[in-house]
A = this chain, B = another copy of it.
């Protein structure tokens, strides 16, 4: 496990990026606990904290979740387009990644309890928690990736993880130690997308 020496917020933010391949080194419960605890400190609509997390370590279950994602991508045509468009896959989450999701020692299903929260506020209440989670993982040396195919294939994800109807899967996040070092993320400078006072006025 990596200690917190490199846990400076700005440094962590600048090195966070999606991991595609993972070593088989197990992720200790203690690390998962810190990552999940971090998630719960995000803001949520009316502080309803609608998040639910399912930690999947079982190899068969991981393989089945990986297969769901693989089928989505392999399906091509309408399925592929629908998954691609609706799912919010990340740049780094390509076919190789979806095949490789099951290779991470932990798959984390992030879901929203729509009885505890409000369905309309699920995105604004869940994705900040997801981001806290990804940053905490990065700080602890864990690789991770945000995938949202779970939303599109909710029925399969529900069946595999036992989520009841009122708990809506939002994201599927592989977690594990990266198989190889991750390079820096590529971003356009903020100033290219920042406007002073009104849209179109240069920063």
Taking Cβ atoms with an 8 Å cutoff, the residues of A that contact B are 4, 7-10, 12-14, 16-18, 33-34, 36-49, 51-58, 61, 85-92, 113, 118, 120-121, 123-128, 130-132, 134-136, 139, 145-146, 148, 161-164, 167, 171, 185-191, 193-200, 203
A198 to B52, CA, bound (A): 11
Tell me, rounded to whole Å, the shortest Cβ–Cβ distance linking A45 to chain B. Answer: 4
> Is A14 a contact partner of B42 (Cβ separation < 8 A)?
no
Which residue in chain B gives the minimum CB-CB distance to A188? B49
Contact of A193 among B14, B49, B121 (CB under 8 A): B49
The 5 A-B residue pairs with the shortest CB-CB distance, nearest first, are A47-B91, A123-B123, A127-B127, A88-B121, A88-B124
Is A40 in contact with B86, judged by CB distance below 8 angstroms? no
Interface centre among A16, A33, A39, A53 (most CB of B within 10 A): A53
Q: Report chain B residues within 8 Å CB of A132.
A: 13, 131, 135
18 A-B residue pairings within 8 Å (CB atoms): A9-B135, A10-B38, A13-B41, A13-B132, A16-B41, A36-B190, A47-B92, A54-B199, A55-B194, A56-B197, A86-B121, A88-B123, A123-B123, A127-B128, A128-B130, A128-B131, A131-B131, A164-B199
Q: Which one, B13, B61, B87, B167, contacts A38 given CB within 8 A?
A: B13
Given A7-B8, A9-B139, output 14 extra A-B contacts at Cβ < 8 Å. A8-B9, A10-B34, A13-B41, A14-B41, A40-B193, A43-B134, A43-B146, A49-B193, A54-B194, A55-B203, A57-B197, A58-B197, A61-B197, A127-B127
